Structure 1
Amino acid sequence: MKIAIFGATGRVGSRVTQFALAEGHEVQALVRNKEEAKRVIGKAVLIEGDATNKESIEQTLQGCDLVFSALSTDKTFTLSQATPLIIDGMNEHGINRIITVGTAGILNSRFEKDKYRFQSGESKRRSTFAAEEHAKVYTLLVKSTLDWVILCPTYLPDGESKGLVRHEEIFLPLDGKKITVEDTALFAFKELINPGYQNTRVGLSY
């Protein structure tokens, strides 16, 4: 299987890339700097470019079967600008399934009807910029015809796999406090290769 990966040098994206390569899948990754990326994901086919550039997106998607995106907001509008280009490119190339990493902030509030968690008292974050960007991605995917899943981990520290990941559709698992990057990446890779969800948001935590 050939997988297009966006955000492949980030914490979650690099581990998903490494899992895919270790399992014998081909990876085509869009990166900003090839030389730096080689040190992290050297065995992947590296496309140097910009996630907000249509040609870069097109080149990355060429010949791929699946798409994984771990693009972050990084205090910019890159995420909401890149997503429409990825969706359009997938449609043009006949690629149907995409897994993205979002934030627990765009899951539904358990206690305040018709609100995202970031809009409710469940969120402790002062800035909502990242959640608002991820909410735009959710809206775009809902309007698309793609087979999509947004994985929404809560607090995401580095660390080894602890296993026993809890996952719940639309909501964050009750009393979920954190999940490591490693377990998030493992769950994402498994969901990419062996689908368990379709057209939904999935909360992840221990």
Structure 2
Amino acid sequence: MKLVVIGATARTGLSLIQQALDKSYEVTAIMRSTENFPIQHEHLKAVEGNVLSVEFLTEHFQGCDAVLSCIGTRTYRTTIYSDSIKSITEAMKKAGVSRLLAITSWCTTDNPRDRGPFILEWILKPTILRNALADMAIMETYLNDSCPDINFTIVRPPELSKRPSEGKPLMVEVDRLHVPGSTNIIPREDVARFMLTSLDTDEYDRKMVSIGV
């Protein structure tokens, strides 16, 4: 299988790339700078470029089976999610690629019947996470409403952790904003693992999927 990973230098992206290589997949990793990129492998191609350039993405999407986006930002005021999804999907169409997996978050939108943890809903979401979650929600809506030819899976994790995966079965809720009964933190390795296993099933095709442990 040939994969393109966008946001490759993020910790989740690095874990995703390593797990994909461990499965003997071929990976093209797209990033802002290849300097000091820590992974080297005969089946890995690291390329430097702009994720908002349709022409650049189209070139590197050619012949791939799926695009996996681990785009993230440390800037709370951002439009990177809503901006990048337009260039990504346009390039996918030009390259003839339909399968997309992308990470957002728990609680991107508001639903009184699907409230997440108190600290997220009432402390973090109205303050430091407000703009990032709102931009993720725009991305989700764009995929759902404007991309009928893109077979997407949106992966919604809680807070991401550097701690190693314990290999536990993941808790999964389709088309929900969080996972009741789950902890509020998940190892990045588990998010990457879920993304790769989702390539082997149609269960999550054109779905928004919250995960937890």
Q: What TM-score comes out, normalization by structure 1 length?
A: 0.88
Deviation at 1:164, TM superposition (A): 2.5
Contact 1:156 1:179 in 2 (8 A): yes
Correspondence list, 1:72-87, <5 A? 72-75=72-75, 76-87=78-89
Change (3 A) 1:56 1:104: same
Distance 1:40 1:134 in 2: 28
Unaligned runs of 5+ in 1: none
Match of 1:49 in 2: 49
Sort the Cα spacing of 1:123 and 1:11 in 2 relative to 1 into closer, same or farther, 3 A: farther
Aligned partners of 1:68 and 1:192 also within 8 Å: no
- Counterpart contact for 1:47–1:59, Cα < 8 Å: no
What RMSD in Å do the two structures reach over aligned CA positions?
A: 2.3
Q: Is the 8 A contact 1:67 1:97 kept in 2?
A: yes
- State whether residues 66 and 99 of structure 2, in contact with CA within 8 Å, keep that contact through their aligned partners in structure 1: yes
SS at match of 2:204: coil
Residue 141 of structure 1 corresponds to which residue in structure 2? 143
Write the letter of the residue equivalent to 2:88: I
1:71 match: secondary structure: coil
Letter in 1 for 2:186: I
- Specify every segment of 5 or more residues in structure 2 that has no aligned partner in the other structure, as ranges: none
What is the SS of the residue equivalent to 2:142? helix
Residue 99 of structure 1 is matched in structure 2 by 101
Structure 2 residue 171 is matched with structure 1 residue 169: no
Choose from 158, 162, 183 the match for 1:158.
Answer: 162
Alignment partner of 2:204 out of 173, 179, 197: 197
What TM-score does the superposition give when structure 2 sets the normalisation length? 0.85
Structure 2 CA distance, aligned partners of 1:6 and 1:116?
A: 30
Q: Whose helix fraction is larger, Structure 1's or Structure 2's?
A: 1
Q: Displacement of 1:122 after TM fit? A: 3.2
8 Å CA contact retained: 1:51, 1:78? no
**C-alpha distance in 2, partners of 1:59/1:193?**
25
Counterpart CA distance in 1 for 2:72 and 2:40 is 18
* 8 Å CA contact retained: 2:5, 2:69: yes
Residues 199 and 116 (structure 1), Cα distance of their counterparts in 2 relative to 1, 3 Å cut: farther
Q: Give the length in aligned residue pairs.
A: 201
Find the aligned partners of 1:116 and 1:51 in 2 and give their Cα distance. Answer: 33
Check whether the contact 2:109–2:133 (CA below 8 A) recurs between aligned residues: no
